[in-house]
Amino acid sequence: EAKAAGKGRHEIFAGPMDEVVARRRTIEKDLREAINTGTGLALAYQPIFSSDTNTMVGIEALARWNHPVHGALSPEFFITLAEERGLIERFGNWALREAATFAVKNDIPWVAVNVSPVQFRDRHLAQKISAILSDMGLEPNRLQIEVTEGVLLQDSPVVRETIKSLRALGIAVALDDFGTGYSSISYLRSYGVDKLKIDRSFVSKLGIDLEVNSIVQAIIDLARAMKMTVTAEGVETQEQRRILMDMGCAELQGYLLSKPISDQQLAAAYGRRLMASPSAPVRIG
Ligand code: C2E
Ligand code: MG
Ligand code: MG
Ligand code: MG
């Protein structure tokens, strides 16, 4: 489906059906191997800024896979593949270990890691995450788990318990791509999460579609009323940034401030304590 589209898709899904199926099998096998050996996999890190102080407050870890033949494949493609092929738990563990190690080594305030809704079916998820943090030496309050709204809609006792346990451990839970799913206010209240991440599709229409301005303001007000933090995703222009700051959005993330960058680039930039200036933000990396 369209969501699985991305770089590599045209090449991978072109040609006669039997070839497409064979190619996909090969890629599955390659992904399994990449996860087992760690080869070709990496995390990119995107800084997240406080809109008050313009300083980097934390980072989001974003998976990258450089396929030996097809090159860089989009996470939307290979994460879906991992979910379908039963590889997502191993992948998720790898990503968490990697991100935690990086945050410890570079003294990063906190790191956000995306967790698949499929991983949330595991009743021991919170316990496993906690064990990895202990192994890597990262304090739980320096981890944020990002999940899409869809996970709440499963409305399962397992999901409920997991979110509760994570938060009891001190791990923050953020709702990713907020506004694109179907969360109701009652869901939000009964689950309890720490942060809303306003989806890029809203941010990109700020200042263009005034209805969107009102919706974003409403999300920010809702978050404040429920004592949640708000991050705007996909901030690409100064105008969007200014509007979000005027609206009281606490955190900003997007290409305007910094693209996702490699671990080495981020470590170097953060080591120099680069700040985004209010007028012309420094692009880290
Ligand atoms: P996400 O968690 O919502 O991550 C934000 C996506 O927006 C990233 O795409 C990021 O590169 C992109 N982005 C950030 N700022 C801007 C901007 O200003 N403009 C535009 N156009 N895009 C921006 P990416 O890296 O391709 O990741 C796509 C999705 O794949 C992520 O969306 C997340 O849902 C998933 N994903 C990535 N890494 C992981 C992972 O380790 N585990 C899991 N389960 N999912 C992951
Ligand atoms: Mg995310
Ligand atoms: Mg998002
Ligand atoms: Mg997403």
In tens, the pLDDT along 236-268 reads 999 999 999 999 999 999 999 999 999 999 999
User: Does 280 score more than 60 pLDDT?
Assistant: no
Ligand closest to Cα of 146 equals: 2
* Short-list 86, 108, 100, 71, CA closest to 35: 86
Token pair 């990119």 is found at 44
Q: How far is the CA of 123 from the centre of ligand 3 (A)?
A: 24
Q: How far is the CA of 60 from the centre of ligand 2 (A)?
A: 7
| Ligand 1 atom 17: residue of nearest CA | 234
pLDDT-derived band at 207, boundaries 50, 70, 90: very high
| Ligand 1 atom 19: residue of nearest CA | 234
Q: Is 204 in the pocket of ligand 1 (CB under 6 A)?
A: no
Going by C-beta distance under 8 Å and a sequence separation of 6 or more, which residues neighbour residue 21? Answer: none
User: Does 35 score more than 50 pLDDT?
Assistant: yes
CA distances from 89 to 55, 84, 168 (A): 33, 11, 22
pLDDT-derived band at 23, boundaries 50, 70, 90: confident
Q: pTM score, two decimals?
A: 0.93
Q: What is the pLDDT of residue 7?
A: 52
| Ligand 1 atom 4: residue of nearest CA | 62
Q: Is 75 in the pocket of ligand 1 (CB under 6 A)?
A: yes
Q: How far is the CA of 18 from the centre of ligand 3 (A)?
A: 34
User: Does 111 score more than 60 pLDDT?
Assistant: yes
Q: What is the pLDDT of residue 9?
A: 60
Structure confidence by residue, pLDDT tens digits, 167-189: 999 999 999 999 988 777 888 88
Q: How far is the CA of 151 from the centre of ligand 3 (A)?
A: 14
Q: Which atom of ligand 1 is nearest to the CA of 176?
A: 3
Q: For residue 123, what are its two tokens?
A: 């009743």
Q: What is the pLDDT of residue 149?
A: 85
Q: Phi, psi (5° rounding) for residue 154?
A: -60, -25
Q: Is 177 in the pocket of ligand 1 (CB under 6 A)?
A: yes
Q: Which long-range contacts (CB under 8 A, 24 or more apart) does 260-267 make?
A: 260/44, 260/45, 260/46, 260/60, 260/62, 261/44, 261/45, 261/46, 261/285, 262/42, 262/44, 262/45, 263/42, 263/43, 263/44, 263/45, 263/102, 266/45, 266/47, 266/59, 266/106, 267/102, 267/105, 267/106
Complex ipTM: 0.98
User: Does 4 score more than 50 pLDDT?
Assistant: no
Ligand closest to Cα of 44 equals: 1
Report the mean per-residue pLDDT for the chain.
Answer: 90
Which of 48, 114, 197 best tests ligand 1's pocket when mutated (most atoms within 8 Å of CB)? 114
Structure confidence by residue, pLDDT tens digits, 65-103: 999 999 999 999 999 999 999 999 999 999 999 999 999
User: Does 161 score more than 70 pLDDT?
Assistant: yes
Q: What is the pLDDT of residue 48?
A: 97
Q: Is 192 in the pocket of ligand 1 (CB under 6 A)?
A: no
Structure confidence by residue, pLDDT tens digits, 115-150: 999 999 999 999 999 999 999 999 999 999 999 988
Q: How far is the CA of 260 from the centre of ligand 1 (A)?
A: 9
| Ligand 1 atom 10: residue of nearest CA | 260
pLDDT-derived band at 11, boundaries 50, 70, 90: confident
